[in-house]
C-alpha cells in the first residue's frame, strides 16, 4: 500500500464529496450521503466475507491499511457527513468534508516526511501544523479567511488528540466550530 496514494484518495473524497453536496439540494444531499454510507457498508461486508468486487477490490488493496476493518474510514466519512447534514446543513457539511480531506491527508504526508516532534502516538507537530495551514488555505475558498483559520486550528487539535475516528471527529468539530462562530453573523 502506498501511503501517498491512500492519502490522495482521502483528499479527493473530501473535496469531491463537498463539491457534490454543494451542488445538490438538501434532500438530494441527504440521499447522497445515505447512499454512500450504505454502499460503503455493503462493500465492507463483501470484503469481510472474502468477495472480490471488480475494480473496487484493486483500489481497496492500494488504499486500505493491512489488518484494519475494510472501508472503516469510508464508512466513518459517510456517517460523519450524514450527521453533519442532519444537524448543520449542506454548507457546513461541505466545510467539514474539505477540512477532514485536506487536514488529514496533508498532516499524514507532511508528518511522514518532515515529522520530528511527536505530540501523540504517530502524530507529529510538523504534520499537524502543515495540515492546519493547508486546511485553512482550502477553506478560505468557502468561508472568510479568519473563520477558515479558526476552523482549521480547532480541527487540527481534534485530529491530533481525539481518541475517536478522525473522519467523524474532524467533520463534526469543524461544523460545530463554524456554527458557534457563525451564529448571528450570517456566515451561511
pLDDT digits (tens, 9 = 90+) for 32-62: 999 999 999 999 898 889 888 887 777 766 6
DSSP 135-151: HHHHHTTTS-HHHHHHH
Q: Residue range 72-99: average pLDDT? A: 95
CA 100 to chain centre: 3
Position 63 scores a pLDDT of: 67
* CA dihedral over 170, 172, 173, 175, signed as positive or negative: positive
Check residue 187 and give its pLDDT: 62
Q: C-alpha dihedral over 132, 133, 134, 138, to 10 degrees?
A: 100
- The pLDDT value recorded for residue 188 is 64
**Comparing C-alpha atoms, which of 71, 70, 103 is closest to residue 169?**
103
Confidence of residue 1 (pLDDT cuts 50, 70, 90): low
Residue 108 has pLDDT above 70, yes or no: yes
* Residue 162, number of CB atoms within 10 A of its CB: 16
- The set of residues, in sequence order, having a beta carbon less than 8 Å from that of 132 and lying 6+ positions away, is 103, 107, 152, 153, 155, 156
Residue 23 pLDDT:
97
Amino acid at each position: 500500500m502506498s501511503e501517498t496514494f491512500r492519502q490522495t484518495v482521502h483528499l479527493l473524497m473530501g473535496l469531491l464529496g463537498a463539491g457534490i453536496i454543494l451542488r445538490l439540494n438538501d434532500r438530494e444531499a441527504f440521499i447522497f450521503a445515505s447512499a454512500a454510507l450504505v454502499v460503503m457498508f455493503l462493500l465492507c461486508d463483501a470484503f469481510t466475507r472474502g468477495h472480490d468486487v471488480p475494480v473496487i477490490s484493486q483500489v481497496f488493496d492500494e488504499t486500505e491499511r493491512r489488518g484494519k476493518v475494510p472501508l472503516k474510514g469510508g464508512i466513518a466519512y459517510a456517517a460523519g457527513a450524514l450527521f453533519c447534514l442532519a444537524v448543520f446543513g449542506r454548507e457546513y457539511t461541505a466545510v467539514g468534508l474539505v477540512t477532514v480531506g485536506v487536514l488529514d491527508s496533508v498532516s499524514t504526508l507532511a508528518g511522514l516526511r518532515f515529522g520530528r516532534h511527536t505530540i501523540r502516538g504517530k502524530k507529529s507537530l510538523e504534520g499537524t501544523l502543515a495540515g492546519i495551514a493547508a486546511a485553512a488555505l482550502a477553506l478560505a475558498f468557502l468561508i472568510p479567511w479568519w473563520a477558515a483559520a479558526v476552523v482549521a486550528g480547532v480541527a487540527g487539535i481534534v485530529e491530533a488528540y481525539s481518541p475517536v475516528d478522525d473522519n467523524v471527529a474532524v467533520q463534526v468539530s469543524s461544523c460545530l466550530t463554524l456554527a458557534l462562530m457563525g451564529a448571528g453573523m450570517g456566515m451561511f
